[in-house]
Amino acid sequence: MNRPTSGALARNAKPKVRPARPYFSSGPCAKPPGWSTEQLDTRVLGRSHRSGLGKQRLQLAIDLMRELLELPDTHRIGIVPGSDTGAYEMAMWTMLGARPVTTLAWESFGEGWVTDAVKQLKLAPTVVRAAYGQLPDLAQLDWSSDVLFTWNGTTSGVRVPDAEWIPANREGLSFADATSAVFAYPIDWTKIDVATFSWQKVLGGEGGHGVLILGPRAVERLESYVPDWPLPKVFRLVSKGKLAEGVFKGETINTPSMLAVEDAIYALEWAKRVGGLEALIARSTANSAALGKIVDERAWLNHLAADRATRSTTSVCLTLEGADEARIKAIAKLLEGEEVAYDIAGYRDAPPGLRIWCGATVDTADVEALGPWLDWAWEATAT
């Protein structure tokens, strides 16, 4: 493909309106509107996370997450090391192996959990796959096994529709990697035994820490089953045969970044101020609808996710008619250079396309302002 020339750039005029906040990355995602470092409570910085104040702030983060997620008392929630990957692998390493395993994969992150189960834990799981843009048949799963899935496939823009497909009377445990799903979709927690996420997605928090949610059946598994592989200290959730309850009260396994914790508290308090879970879901829905309108109005732009009912409202993945990776990169670079949209080239393993984050911390007006800029970049990169 020829690179855009200055002649091509001159063909169409630049739109007048730029998104006020060009932050459309799918993680770390846009900070909450109005965020600034000055707004963070810094009293705990330089203090021990095990001090009275440290524990109080960690507990506040936990309490706010519970409240905003509308998590029932049956489920525990704690902060663990290693971001979402750390939290999910902690769950895999501590609970799998007790019964057969089914792993679902329809994009890169789900595929990563398959690799862990097959190559690292050597579990010989049943692997249920679908191509990028599709969802596998969720009705055909064997729930006598533990089932691992990604609620929202961040690299393909395909999500599960809800939790209806998870039976109430399952024998196995459900493990949801919910990192780009929490705070964006309603979640029926009675269907979830394990869920994990990290703060840098829908909350616009910082990376580094994972959040682990455990239902009662997951706790039962932890207290009754000892895997026959070694567990590093950062994965250990059980002490003397009992769940390490401290983890769910802010007594973290190792030292957290209290700055990241304060940043998460800021984001959670913002979320409360704007109206809680319902408002977060509404913001993300409005953003993805605004982007959907832009797509519908352009013949050259399409969603990678085939079925509207299972299309992500957070990580929206788009294909551009006939555009190869080089053109996608050129478009993303042009838009970044214009400070119109940062980090919107699709994930490296996904089919070439754009990925535009529509989570709650993004403002709808900024998504709307993107449309004419996409036209501009599309034309500017035409050969």
Binding site for ligand PLP (CB under 6 A): 27, 83-85, 109, 150, 154, 177, 179-180, 198, 207
Alpha-carbon distance of 304 to 311, in angstroms, equals 9
Alpha-carbon distance of 77 to 63, in angstroms, equals 9
Yes or no: say if 204 and 31 are a contact pair by the CB < 8 Å rule.
yes
Q: What is the token pair recorded at 324? A: 């190869």
Looking up tokens 């309850």 gives 245
Residue with Cβ nearer ligand PLP (343 or 366): 343
Distance in Å, CB of 196 to ligand PLP, minimum: 8
Q: Which of 28, 38, 65, 29 is nearest to 363 (CA)?
A: 29
What is the torsional sign of CA 137, 149, 221, 215? negative
Q: Is 219 exposed, middle or buried, given 0-12, 13-18 or 19+ CB atoms closer than 10 A?
A: buried
Distance in Å, CB of 154 to ligand PLP, minimum: 3
Q: What is the token pair recorded at 16? A: 């007048």
Q: What is the token pair recorded at 230? A: 């070694």
* Backbone angles phi and psi of 126, in degrees to 5: -80, 125
Residue with Cβ nearer ligand PLP (35 or 347): 347
Distance in Å, CB of 58 to ligand PLP, minimum: 18
Residue with Cβ nearer ligand PLP (154 or 284): 154
Residue with Cβ nearer ligand PLP (83 or 287): 83
- Ramachandran region of residue 341, left (φ > 0), alpha (ψ -120 to 50) or beta? beta
Distance in Å, CB of 375 to ligand PLP, minimum: 28
Q: Which residues pair with 81 in a beta bridge?
A: 209
Residue with Cβ nearer ligand PLP (318 or 380): 318
Distance in Å, CB of 198 to ligand PLP, minimum: 3
Residue with Cβ nearer ligand PLP (134 or 180): 180
Distance in Å, CB of 264 to ligand PLP, minimum: 13
Residue with Cβ nearer ligand PLP (114 or 380): 114
Distance in Å, CB of 8 to ligand PLP, minimum: 33
> How many CB atoms within 10 Å of residue 266?
22
